[in-house]
Amino acid sequence: MPRYIALLRAVNVGGTGVLPMAELKGMCVAAGFGRVETYVASGNVVFDTNAAAARVKAELEARLLAYARKPVGVVVRTAAEMAEVLAANPFTRTEPSYTYVIFLDVRPPRDALDHAVGINGEKMVLGKREIYVHYPSGMGGSRLRIPAAKAGTARNLNTVAKLAELAAARVERGRRLG
């Protein structure tokens, strides 16, 4: 059974926020996803399902809309895709907490980085359906804006690595059990 990672966009998922992680996990279980596991309170969930990625995205977005009463974007990757994203990191010699992956649903336009504004030392590289950004002074104080990234959701490389690890462990456990 395929393993997926779903990344929620622009939602406060802390215990006192709009969407507690327990509620997110419950939505996934109610959708029929198996072995659901959330990771840190920032909208990351790993699970198993035979559904196609597009169906997973549509199901989660519908449940989140019903819960939050506003659209909440979801980006979905398979375990293998998340491993590829991590392996493709062009900033291997930088601090992982200062390097982010902006996950998109589609390939960014070739000229996406030409339209970035507010650049102050940040380095950017296009991926398959991602934009990699190194923020030498941290993301918090950056004024960088990439219009092509507006519909995406960002995770630092530490989080990407952990999600890839969680998903890979699920794949390996599934092989041993199968």
Going by the DSSP 8-state scheme, the letter that residue 107 receives in this structure is: P
Distance CA 61, CA 71 (A): 7
CB atoms within 10 A of CB 90: 14
Please give the span between the terminal C-alpha atoms of the chain, in angstroms, as a whole number.
Answer: 10
Distance CA 139, CA 125 (A): 16
Least confident among 1-15, 82-96, 97-111, 121-135: 1-15
What pTM, to 2 d.p., does this model score? 0.91
Helix (H, G, I), strand (E, B) or coil at 63: helix
Domains by residue range for the chain, with CATH: 3-82+159-177 (3.30.70.1280), 83-157 (no CATH)
pLDDT digits (tens, 9 = 90+) for 90-119: 999 999 999 999 999 999 999 999 999 999
Q: Which residue has the tokens 């649903």?
A: 105
Distance CA 17, CA 174 (A): 33
Q: Which amino acid appears at position 41 of this protein?
A: A
pLDDT band at residue 173 using 50, 70 and 90 as cut-offs:
low
Cβ-contact 50, 44 below 8 angstroms: no
**What pLDDT was estimated at residue 16?**
41
CB atoms within 10 A of CB 70: 10
What does R_g of the chain's alpha carbons equal in angstroms? 16
**What pLDDT was estimated at residue 169?**
84
Distance CA 79, CA 41 (A): 20
At 94, list the tokens: 């930088």
pLDDT at 175 over 90: no
At 103, list the tokens: 């996950």
pLDDT digits (tens, 9 = 90+) for 36-53: 999 988 899 999 999 999
